[in-house]
Amino acid sequence: MFHWGFPKPHLVRIPFGQYEKRPCLLCTAGSELLVHCCLRQSTSRYCARKLPISTDICGIMGEIVEYNPKEDGPPGDNIHHRCHPLHLIWLSGFNPRVSLLNVSTSRDRKELVLASGNTLLFYCYDGEREKVTPVIGHKNVVNMIGCDESGRFVVSSDCSYCINVWDRHIGGEHNHHPVAIRTIFEPFKAKGDIGAVSLSRDGKYLLAGGALASEQGSHLKLWSWTVGNDFPDDTITLPTRLGRIKTIHFCPDRGRRNQFVVTLESGVAFGAWDSKEQKLSIQVPKRHGFQDYNDTVFVECTERAVSVTGAGMAVLWSNDRKHADGADGSVLRKEFLKYLHLKYASINVVRSCDEKIVTGDDDGEIRFYDNAMKILYWFKREDLEPIRTLSFELVETRQWKVPSEPDEGDDRPPKEEPTDKKLVVNIEDIAPKDVSFEARPVIVRGFVSATKMGKIYDIDIVYNKIQELFLQSPSIITAFDVHAGRAELCTCDGNGRFVVYDLQTKAMKLALDVPIQRTRRGRITTLAYSPCGTFLAGGAENGFLWMVEPNLLILPGSGPVQFTGEKIRSVLFSNDSKHLVCVDESNTITLLHRVKDDWQAVGRCATHRLVDLAFLCSTDFASIGEDRHMVQYTINCDEMVQLEALSIVKRKRIEQTAFPTALLILPGGNEILVANDQHKFKIFHSETFEILHTYLAPFHDGPARFLRQLPGEDYFLFITDNNIYLHHLPIDGNPFKYLAVRGHPKRLKGLQIAWTVRCAFTFGEGDHAVSMWKINTSPLLDNIRHAGSGLDPFCTLLPGGKRGCYVREILSLFFYNQISPKNSDGDAELTLRDAMNVQDVPNYMRSIGYHMTEYEEMNLSKEMELTGTYFLTFEEVAKLFLNHRTATGGPPNTEDIRTAVTYIGATTSSGNEVDLVRLITLLASMGEPMEPKTAEAYCRILFPSAFDAHEQDEADSVAECGTTEECTNCISIDAFADKLC
């Protein structure tokens, strides 16, 4: 049975199709159903049809057909976009640290495979336009890409999670997204590192190298991946002294395609796979004092291999003549032949193609050698940048025909050729000549070169053509923003390069290199368009404020504005674009005003450690900070009034223990939405800063950050550490009102929305590109529609759901509260009703597991006052409980209580007992003060034995207790903690 590598698949056999009499298989993988149907009698070819998990299984059991996507659908409207709230459609660059792959099979069509974060980019250029197809298939950052000799199957790996094999020709060649047809999860166990992967030239075998976290040395594992085994066919361990694996290459020659070479930090290992014995074998040549190996390849049509090092050395290996050549699958022992010192710079890559050896180095030079390592040809570009990748086309070696002379015996008249036909040029005449005395032509197929600075060049030395491809990715993105009125995106990288992209054509429009200090102190850290779109501001780490003309992308003649020497953390334009607010690292807000063509600082004020800010109107804005306060500022525009240009209006505390992380002005401008790090959304009044509501926020992946509303719609977006969320308004704590997609393998650092193209834009830690996500609200509406009404969606947050024992228990306590002694009136008849007095709600919540503080009780009481009623139903109380209770964790355990009483000093000198009288005294003076009589009453109820032998006045108890170890008001700390839990 063909087995697909999804994590813990659930397989269900489906009856034969009604029309297509083929055995079929159904499995679930994450949020998708995958239907696999055998296209032939053999199991060598399968198709996969991906369906949403909500698809009716009975509807697909009738007919299973081969996966052929429709051509008449709108662009980008695939099944993933219909099921996901956001769909990745474009990236502005790629990761130059990962070697790209040239899979071009035609000289008229360039096809590349690149990596960007955890995304693979399938790039195509037909001479007129570029097309980039991003596909997400990894959890971590992609670190290696390879393919077979046909270019159809592409293998990719991330740092530790999985290896994917992609079929580029699914659904018709060049028409649709590639599909991952094989996945191997955690090949080197949990937290093991995947160093390199490679496919054999015939595409039968997959070889991966990596290391286990708990073991020393590297391992090689081989799979016959077309069979579908979960476990490798064989595993072998490499010597520890060789270090980390860098690259793996299979031999391209027929008859030796099961042989491979592994390049490690301190050595080279040659190996082979014996398909008959099902065994891997390796051979490590003797050491010759070389270190820092970068790459190794087999030399075509020879018995040699060549390695290059970081010291500019080329090391040649050849077969050991003492050992006879073995059959296919046996290790042909390699021995050191010679070394050549080719450069004084590091040689990063070596390739063998068309009987030539090609190298790329840190000097930006590409050299061509023959198979005996004799120099033939070299060239370098004007802008010298280190070469990181060389990848040749998959077309056959160039062929040329010698013009045939007419046959003397042939008396047929020659064909008349049209006069406009182009003359056939002999390729030998136009090819460059080598440096030998014979000056032979250097003929080699076209190839692609990628540099350290993220530039990709399509090079054809025969026709002397060099063309730059794709989008440049010179450095890590540090800031970006989108235009408010036009479909434009502006990015800035660590080198101070501004790039403006047209989001309709996905092409670069303008570029500008800002003359910054090329150090961490000079990088631009924040970028902002004005609402009118006529200004663009960028703040740098050295305190410079760069004002750029976005339409022409030029700098004004006056140069940057500098009003501080600290890092500028945030810039924000006012709603009328007349003012600009800048926040620096010293927690100072600077107000700038536009005077003709210049921006001048007109006011400053010291504030808290600001986290986020937003304009309430053209002259007022609010901020939240790490001091748990919200502050409102006002801008004085009247020059006749002797007031400061920027002043603080009011300041109010909004949190007790949580830290606010982001704020958003809700539609209408009367409410402010604030997110905190305890996974809560809180709504405050924009004028009084009084709390209105508290709701549960997503608690799966860190707190919410960068709240952004979709203009004109009841949706807003935000990011957490790794995910991008789409949330429906109004907020009520319903967990079915938001959906998310994984946006980054490390950490997201920014989010913006361009409503002109209905897309969201993000970038993350270490990214060389900005991601463009298409927004789709239909899945979220379907999610809300099928979630149910009333308490149904909220009860999914409780153990057992709506019919679980937890819900029955809190419902019973809801009614028990009405027949408690404090609510009874002697022998009067009690009437139970589905309503609770708002005064009883705080204690009721404490009884069912939410131990709130006095501050939290005060906020809860204010929210209940806004309902305008004195009684709340069980549904209303349950929603308040789920929204206010702690999102993560639970009630304090015994260890938490031990730590707390020890920290405040309520224990005796030995630390093994709790002095109850001292605890009562501390509770009356620390934190939220508690009445001593109330605290003593609670202690007497919980620990009656500690007070039986000591019936004295409160003053005498306080004076005597805590001064001696024999005090009768002391109790064991373990008994104290167990009683409270």
Q: What is the pLDDT of residues 376-400, one digit of tens each?
A: 999 887 778 899 999 999 987 655 4
In the numeric block, the tokens 């069912």 are attached to 848
Closest Cα partner for 511 from 524, 501, 523? 501
Euclidean distance between CA atoms 930 and 357, whole angstroms: 82
The answer to whether the peptide bond before residue 414 is cis (omega within 30 degrees of 0) is no
H or E stretch at 858: helix 854-865
Q: What are phi and psi of 854, to 5 degrees?
A: -65, -35
Euclidean distance between CA atoms 851 and 886, whole angstroms: 9
- C-alpha gyration radius of the chain: 35
Say yes or no to pLDDT of 181 above 50: yes
Q: Is 419 exposed, middle or buried (0-12, 13-18, 19+ CB in 10 A)?
A: exposed
| More confident: 366 or 820 | 366
- Give the confidence band of 425 by pLDDT, cuts at 50, 70, 90: low
Closest Cα partner for 221 from 230, 234, 211, 212? 234
Q: For position 248, what pLDDT does the model report?
A: 96
Q: For position 931, what pLDDT does the model report?
A: 85
Once rounded to an integer, what is the mean pLDDT over residues 317-338? 70
Q: For position 950, what pLDDT does the model report?
A: 54
Euclidean distance between CA atoms 97 and 85, whole angstroms: 31
Closest Cα partner for 435 from 380, 351, 341, 367? 367
Q: What are phi and psi of 459, to 5 degrees?
A: -115, 130
H or E stretch at 973: helix 973-980
Q: For position 79, what pLDDT does the model report?
A: 58
3-state secondary structure 506-531: CEEEEEEECCCCCCCCCCEEEEEECC
Euclidean distance between CA atoms 500 and 511, whole angstroms: 6
H or E stretch at 874: helix 874-884
Q: Using an 8 Å Cβ cutoff, are 676 and 662 in contact? A: no
Task: Look at phi and psi of residue 140 and say left if phi exceeds 0, alpha if psi is from -120 to 50, else beta.
Answer: beta
Looking at residue 556, its amino acid is: P
Look at 11-25, 459-473, 707-721 and tell me which has the smallest mean pLDDT. 11-25
Q: Using an 8 Å Cβ cutoff, are 687 and 631 in contact? A: no
Say yes or no to pLDDT of 55 above 60: no
Q: For position 81, what pLDDT does the model report?
A: 67
| More confident: 114 or 521 | 114
Compute the Cα dihedral for 744, 95, 769, 75 and give only its sign: negative
Say yes or no to pLDDT of 830 above 90: no
Look at 101-115, 316-330, 801-815 and tell me which has the smallest mean pLDDT. 316-330
Q: For position 4, what pLDDT does the model report?
A: 40
Q: For position 518, what pLDDT does the model report?
A: 59
- Give the confidence band of 80 by pLDDT, cuts at 50, 70, 90: low
Closest Cα partner for 139 from 155, 119, 122, 154? 119
- Give the confidence band of 695 by pLDDT, cuts at 50, 70, 90: very high
Q: Using an 8 Å Cβ cutoff, are 259 and 303 in contact? A: no
Euclidean distance between CA atoms 433 and 368, whole angstroms: 12
Query: For the chain, what's the residue count?
Result: 981
Once rounded to an integer, what is the mean pLDDT over residues 512-519? 77
- Give the confidence band of 175 by pLDDT, cuts at 50, 70, 90: low
Q: Is 789 exposed, middle or buried (0-12, 13-18, 19+ CB in 10 A)?
A: exposed
- Give the confidence band of 821 by pLDDT, cuts at 50, 70, 90: low
Euclidean distance between CA atoms 38 and 1, whole angstroms: 10
Once rounded to an integer, what is the mean pLDDT over residues 642-670? 91
Once rounded to an integer, what is the mean pLDDT over residues 626-647? 85
